[in-house]
Amino acid sequence: MGYGGGCTLRMITIQELLFNRGLDQLAKIKLVRHKQTGHDLYNLYRYNRNEFLAYQNEQAKDVFNKVNFIVSFVGEEGIRSRFVGVYKILNCTQQKNGFFIYEMNEVRGFEDLIEKVVIDWKNPISWHQWISNEMPVIEINQGLRHQQFKDYFDFILDFKELKELVYNKYIDWVRMLSITKGVYLISDSKTGKLYVGSAYGEDGIWGRWSNYVITNGHGNNKTLKELVSKDENYAFNFRFSILMLLPKTVTPDEAISKELLFKRKLGTNSFGLNNN
């Protein structure tokens, strides 16, 4: 730390957080970052934990040979990596196909860190590294989010994910969606029917979609309200995405005109969930 000319702040590391909560510093420990092209490991972890653990436990090489514990992360954008648990390796067997299957148990005591701590991963080429390679903590937030905001046309949010974004007010999503007006799509994964809407208010798409969360999914639309009134959990079938961005200066009439265009293109008045 310097004096007079300001100071340099040292970032806390994931090692410090883990060791302070009782992880054995004398054990053989590897940090493991799961991110593979062609596999949606993020949603696999969120919605099918058993399959995610099976993916973690099976390796083509004996990468955890003589390792006592692994510290597991799910890779996010760039070198961001989110902590998802510490696992003790109990034993390993090699299969006829040459793959190695590790038996692991999750270690208790790190619940306050799981899904909340994000680190920068050093040397991104190596997905498993010894714990001696210190990794700085860059973020501690309320919990697991679907993904970082990347692009307006690069996501589909289910209603559960949208609720998480709205209730936790993740700053990147709030910032990018609240400054943007546009035409959006809601698809019903149960029936395949579509709903087209437009957001042209002061808070843009963020304000309009927040209203869907507040109203348990219907956003005061007649047809959607009927579906939700029959089943309070029906909105969990809804998927939200953006069809078109509109200028900040767009008038309500101009926005509605574009909305009507997409309704005609997609036939949502005749065969979908729109009623006007």
- Annotate the chain with three-state secondary structure: CCCCCCCCCCCCEHHHHHHHCCCCCCCCEEEEEECCCCCCHHHHHHHCHHHHHHHHHEECCCCCCCCCEEEEEEECCCCEEEEEEEEEEEEEEECCCCCEEEEEEECCCCCCCCCCEEEECCCCCCCEEECCCCCEEEEECCCCCCCCCCCCCCCCEEHHHHHHHHHHCCHHHHHHHHCCEEEEEEEECCCCCEEEEEECCCCHHHHHHHHHHHCCCCCCCHHHHHHHHHCCCHHHHEEEEEEEEECCCCCHHHHHHHHHHHHHHHCCCCCCCCCC
Given 3.30.465.10, 1.10.10.1100, 3.40.1440.10, 3.40.1160.10, which CATH number is that of 157-266? 3.40.1440.10
Looking at residue 142, what is its pLDDT?
62
Is the whole model's pTM more than 0.75, yes or no? Answer: no
Residue 2 has pLDDT above 90, yes or no: no
Domain ranges of the chain: 14-140, 157-266
Residue 3 has pLDDT above 60, yes or no: no
Residue 130 has pLDDT above 80, yes or no: yes
Mean pLDDT for the chain? 90
Looking at residue 5, what is its pLDDT?
44
Interval 66-96: pLDDT, tens: 999 999 999 988 899 999 999 999 999 999 9
Looking at residue 171, what is its pLDDT?
83
Residue 179 has pLDDT above 70, yes or no: yes
Interval 235-248: pLDDT, tens: 999 999 999 999 99
Looking at residue 146, what is its pLDDT?
53
Looking at residue 256, what is its pLDDT?
96
Looking at residue 7, what is its pLDDT?
43
Residue 143 has pLDDT above 80, yes or no: no
User: Residues 32-53: what's their mean pLDDT?
Assistant: 83
Residue 144 has pLDDT above 80, yes or no: no
Looking at residue 257, what is its pLDDT?
97
Q: pLDDT-derived band of residue 1, with 50, 70 and 90 as boundaries?
A: very low
Q: pLDDT-derived band of residue 29, with 50, 70 and 90 as boundaries?
A: very high
Q: pLDDT-derived band of residue 145, with 50, 70 and 90 as boundaries?
A: low
Looking at residue 28, what is its pLDDT?
98
Residue 37 has pLDDT above 90, yes or no: no
Looking at residue 200, what is its pLDDT?
96
Looking at residue 140, what is its pLDDT?
83
